[in-house]
Amino acid sequence: MSSDFASVPKHKIILTLLNGTGYIFEIKDYMFLRRHHHIVGALVGSCNARGLSPNEQTLPIALTSLETKLLVEEGIAVIVSKATALLKTPTELDLHQYKDRLNDRLTEQAETLKHQKLKDAEINLDKIINGKRKKLLQKGIPETEIDLNPQQVLKEIADSITFDRKNALLEICCAHPDQHIASIVQLPSLEEHSLKYLVFRDFWLRGKFVTPGDTFGADFLIYPGDPLLYHASHIVVLLGHCKLEPLELIAKVRLSVIVNKHCVFAYFNERNAGEEGCPKICYQTVYWEGNQDRERSKQ
C-alpha cells in the first residue's frame, strides 16, 4: 500500500526505491546516517573512483536491502517510489522547462570556463606577452613598432575562448531541484527471520559498522568505527547449521589470519528461541593460537 508522501515527518530520511533497494541522493542525509546510525552503503556515483570520501561527486548512495529494511523498521527512514512521476510522458511545458534549465546550466559552464581561463591568463600574462613579442620579432617587425597592451591581450584571449557543448561536464546524479510526486511503498519481500538480516541487525545494534564481506570470502565485515578511519576487526561467516566441515573451517580461519582479522561463525541455535520467537543466534569466534602467543608475549 502507499500513502501520501506529504505526510512523511521531517526528521525521517527519504530513501528512493530503485532496483529493489533504497538510494540516497542528498549528501546531508547520507552523512547523518553515517555519523549517527553507522550506515555505510555503497558510493555508486560517476566519480566514486576518485576515492571513498562521500561528497556530491559520489552520489547517489546505494544501500543494501538489509540496510534499507533496518532503517525502515527502526523508524529512521521511509522508502518512496517516484516511478509514476518519472516514467510519465513529459508535457510540452515539461520539455520547455527542461530545455531552459539545460541551457542555463550550459551557460554557467561556459562562463565558468571563460572566467578560469582569463584568471590563468592574468597569472601568466608576462609570459604570454613575451611569447607574442618573440613571434613578432621573428616575423621581422622592429622592436620599436611592437606595442602589446596587457588589457588588449586579455581582450583578445577572452574573444578567442569558445565553449563547445560536446565538451560540457557530465551531470552527476544528485537530488533533483524539483520535488517529484512520490508515494510511500512497502519494502520488497525479505525474509523476516533470515539469519543474514538478524546477524546484520544484531551487530548494528551493538554499535558496529557492518559492510558486505564478499571481498574477503565472508558474509560481513565488522568495523569498530567508520571504515574511513578503522580497519575491519572481524569477518563473519554465516552457517546453515552448527556443523562445519574441517576443510571449510581451515579455509575460513586461514583467510582471516592472512588479512589479520578474527573469524566469527554465526548460526541459529535450533533448540532455543530468542526474543519475539525468533531463532537464537549463536556466535563462535576462532582465533589463531599464534596471535594468542604474540599477545601473551607483550604482557
In sequence order, what are the residues at sequence separation of 6 or more whose Cβ sits closer than 8 angstroms to the Cβ of residue 28?
Answer: none
Q: Are 183 and 84 in contact (CB under 8 A)?
A: yes
Distance of alpha carbon 182 from alpha carbon 9, whole angstroms = 14
- What's the one-letter identity of residue 96? H
In sequence order, what are the residues at sequence separation of 6 or more whose Cβ sits closer than 8 angstroms to the Cβ of residue 122?
Answer: 154
Q: Are 168 and 106 in contact (CB under 8 A)?
A: yes
Q: Is 10 a catalytic residue?
A: no
DSSP-assigned states of every residue in 160-192: H----GGGPPPPP----SS----EE-PPPP--T
Q: Is 261 a catalytic residue?
A: yes
Which of 115, 176, 180, 231 is flagged as catalytic? 231
If you search the block for the grid coordinates 552503503, which residue do you land on?
41
- Residue 66: what are its φ and ψ, rounded to 5°? -70, -45
Which of 23, 30, 223, 267 is flagged as catalytic? 223
CA 220, chain centre distance (Å): 18
Which of 69, 82, 252, 261 is flagged as catalytic? 261
Q: Is 231 a catalytic residue?
A: yes
Task: Report which DSSP code applies to 46.
Answer: T
Positions annotated as catalytic residues are 223, 231, 261
